[in-house]
Amino acid sequence: MDSAQIVKAKYDALAGRLNEATLRLWAAVEARALGRGGVTTVAKASGLSRTTIYAGLRELDAASEKPADAPARIRAPGGGRKRLVEKDPTLLGDLDALVEPSTRGDPRSPLRWTCKSTPRLAEELRNKGRQVSQRTTCDLLAQLGYSLQATRKVREGGHHADRDAQFAHIAAQVAQYQSTGEPVISVDTKKKELIGDFKNAGHEWQPKGQPEAVRVYDFIDPLLGKVAPYGVYDLSANEGWVSVGITHDTAEFAVETIRRWWRERGQPLYPSARRLLITADCGGSNGYRIRLWRVALQRLADELAITIQVCHFPPGTSKWNKIEHRMVCHITQNWRGRPLLSREVVVNLIGQTTTAKGLRIHAELDETDYPAGIKVSDKMLAELALERDDFHGEWNYRLKPRDPSS
């Protein structure tokens, strides 16, 4: 084996393990060891340029003059490729215009109506003559202060002129009831849920690489259907009651849930109560425009012989209702990432929801059929013992028990 073959074998063994500087020095050592013609032999055997080998020889000669504690550098100061933003000062501006075409770039940009992924952004930059990769695009976006973000629900829609005044009115009513030891409840329907092995948002701990398998498509199961959890939250006791309905989410279903809560929890907790305050949002089965809601509440007031007062939150402010952030959100957190395989699973997951503040929830299945589309006549409304408050009587009213003999 001649010297060129020996150098080639050494290069093949070391090339992948040495960095730019140490490979250059190795080539210089080999060339000097071979003597006359060594640079040419090493260059041909390794494929390195003669310029690189001569640079290594100069570094060997200068090594004895360098202090022992001098920091090691692979390249001389200023070596290597220039940063893209230094070679092309307009690159960041063009990328910024692609990400925000409506305010910084062309409002007619094709990226205005497409997913602005980093591969697509890199492609658009390449179409403009820039040689950038997807990974480089990520780094450039970071330099511009961008990050991946989801949308955030903060806009509440229309702002009613008396919104804040209604909030103050509700707060005053709640404080007045609680000061006399009378019940105050917040009510609402949680969104309907598909029953079966369907995907449920969120993550749950599972053995690594073994996620729970669910259906690809969310087509309703004709046998299992959906459920509509309607909740009652007791503001003073920090207790909840949820009826899991299997048919329609109607006003009768909502009032029946309140009735069951009163019989099982409300009356034992407030045995001397003569009135009940309900806070609710403006829509759904307990909306202030729903005639059947008021008719069903009147029946409940007659049955329980107590006055039922209702205060509705203004339109667009349902998330301010206490049940939303004191009970419903914790239910959602408790069953995150779990398919709701059966009605019993839903009831158990709701019933086992707790918080560090001591929240307790009772849940039960309500298999009653609540028909939709029940009409309430003007005559039925006229028979209600309904008193409206002077301030927004459509939102604030009370239903007094009627004399059974009348």
CATH of the domain at 170: 3.30.420.10
* Number of structural domains the chain divides into: 3
**Alpha-carbon dihedral 169, 174, 177, 179, rounded to 10 degrees:** -110
Does the residue 68 lie in any domain? no
Residue 102 has pLDDT above 60, yes or no: no
The helix or strand, by DSSP H or E, that contains position 119, with its residue range, turns out to be helix 118-127
pLDDT tens-digit map of 124-154: 889 888 888 998 998 988 898 888 888 777 6
Whether 247 maps to a domain, the answer reads yes
Indicate if 274 and 170 belong to the same structural domain: yes
Residue 406 has pLDDT above 70, yes or no: no
Domain assignment of residue 101, given as a range = 84-143
Q: Which tokens belong to 314?
A: 């203004």
Say whether both 359 and 387 belong to one domain. Answer: yes
Are residues 252 and 327 part of one domain? yes
Q: Are residues 24 and 107 in the same domain?
A: no
Tokens of 195: 């029953």
Does 12 or 384 have the greater pLDDT score? 384
In angstroms, the first-to-last Cα distance of the chain is 120
pLDDT value at 68 more than 60: no
Q: Which residues pair with 275 in a beta bridge?
A: 307
Please tell me whether residues 246 and 380 are part of one structural domain.
yes
Instruction: Determine the average pLDDT of the residues in 371-375.
Output: 94
CB 218, CB 305: distance < 8 Å? no
What is the Cβ-side half-sphere exposure of residue 33, based on CA atoms within 13 angstroms?
11
Same domain? For 322 and 264 the reply is: yes
Q: For residue range 316-327, list pLDDT tens digits in order.
A: 888 889 999 999
Residue 63: pLDDT band (50, 70, 90) is: confident
What pLDDT was estimated at residue 276?
A: 98
Q: Cα dist. 277→5, 183, 262, 320 in Å?
A: 95, 6, 12, 16
Residues 189 and 109 in one domain: no
pLDDT digits (tens, 9 = 90+) for 179-201: 999 999 999 999 999 999 999 88
Phi, psi of 196 (to 5 degrees): 140, -175
Strand partners, 362: 241
Tokens of 131: 């040689």
Residue 113 and residue 179 in one domain: no
Among 26-30, 107-111, 307-311, 385-389, where is mean pLDDT lowest?
107-111
One domain for residues 283 and 364: yes
What does R_g of the chain's alpha carbons equal in angstroms?
37
- Domain membership of residue 206 (yes or no) is no
**Residue 61 banded pLDDT, cuts 50, 70, 90:** confident
User: From the centroid of its chain, how far is CA 20?
Assistant: 47
Rounded CA-CA distance 185/237 in Å is 10
CA of 18: how far to CAs of 81, 262, 324, 363, in Å? 20, 79, 62, 67
Lowest mean pLDDT among 72-81, 200-209, 232-241, 272-281: 72-81
Q: How far is CA 293 from CA 227, 239, 252, 280, 308, in A?
A: 20, 23, 7, 11, 12
Confidence of residue 155 (pLDDT cuts 50, 70, 90): low
Query: Is residue 172 domain-shared with residue 318, that is, in the same domain?
Result: yes
Over residues 335-348, mean pLDDT: 93
pLDDT at 184: 98
Contact by Cβ (8 Å): 243, 260: yes
Q: Are the C-beta atoms of 239 and 361 separated by less than 8 Å?
A: yes
pLDDT of the residue at 151 = 79
Shared domain check, 175 and 136: no
- For residue 343, the model assigns a pLDDT of 96
348 and 286, same domain (yes or no): yes
Q: Is residue 150 part of a domain?
A: no
In a domain, 33, yes or no: yes
The DSSP line for 7-75 is: HHHHHHHHTTTS-HHHHHHHHHHHHHHH-TTHHHHHHHHH---HHHHHHHHHHHHHHTTS-TTPPP-SS
